[in-house]
Amino acid sequence: MKRILFLMTMAFSLFTVSSFAQTENLFNGKDLSGWNFIVDEDKVPAKEVYSVQDGVILVHGNPFGYMYTKKKYKNYVLELEWSWVEEATNSGIFLAIAEVRKGNPFPNGIECQLKAGLAGDFVLLGGSDLEEYVTPQDGRPKFPVIQKREASNEKPVGQWNKAKIEVQNGKITVYINGVLQNQGTNKVKEGHIGLQSEGGPVQFRNLKLTRL
């Protein structure tokens, strides 16, 4: 009887937690009303770099820059899909953006790399840091990298890839197409989320964030 009561209590607790988990769409499928935009040196209007076509976000990749959420987030699971349009090129997901610099395409934040062949690497932008990063003897490079754990498991051009990223009390865990690729511990616990323009056209869809 005690075991049955215990199992019932656990089931109720799990139901209660899941009931209060808040999931929101970061992209409504129609416009980019929940986002702000950075373009390198303000070379062109943001609408020439970031747009919505056929219900997906299209980031042109040139000039460099990023679009970022108007809200800041902490303790969440972010899920999204991306697909190359013409050729496998370069982009990234920016996490825990602590400082936005007008006209500067590289904020203070952690990048989950999406560059073809390297999806899942961490890139430390704008002076950001992860506890796991060890500075080389010859000094810290401009863009420090913590390499992904497994071989590349990305899909070909035209197919949709999926990133699942958990951020919990500063700890970042990255899955690419279901494979655990990286983990890192960030001292910054809260920040904006961004999508990068760099290299060439890329599409994004199904951006969902579940608060933990």
pLDDT of residue 4: 57
83 Cβ contact partners less than 8 Å away, ≥ 6 residues apart: 157, 158, 159, 160, 161, 202, 203, 205
pTM: 0.90
User: In the numeric block, which tokens belong to residue 98?
Assistant: 């602590």
pLDDT of residue 197: 98
pLDDT of residue 158: 94
User: In the numeric block, which tokens belong to residue 204?
Assistant: 């994004």
User: Are 58 and 201 spatial neighbours (Cβ–Cβ below 8 Å)?
Assistant: yes
CB neighbour burial string for 65-104, b if at least 16 within 10 angstroms, e if fewer = bbbbbeeebeebbbbbbbbbbeebbbbbbbbbbbebeeeb
139 Cβ contact partners less than 8 Å away, ≥ 6 residues apart: none
pLDDT of residue 19: 44
Q: Choose among 171, 120, 175: nearest CA to 148.
A: 120
pLDDT of residue 210: 98
Q: Choose among 146, 96, 102: nearest CA to 120.
A: 146
pLDDT of residue 18: 44
Please give the Cα distance from 27 to 38 (Å, whole number): 18
Within 10 angstroms of residue 199's Cβ, the number of other Cβ atoms is: 21
Token look-up 């506890």 returns 131
Which three-class secondary structure state does DSSP give residue 15? helix
pLDDT of residue 121: 98
pLDDT mean for each 10 residues of the chain (212 residues): 54 48 93 98 98 98 98 98 97 97 96 98 97 95 98 97 98 98 98 97 98 97
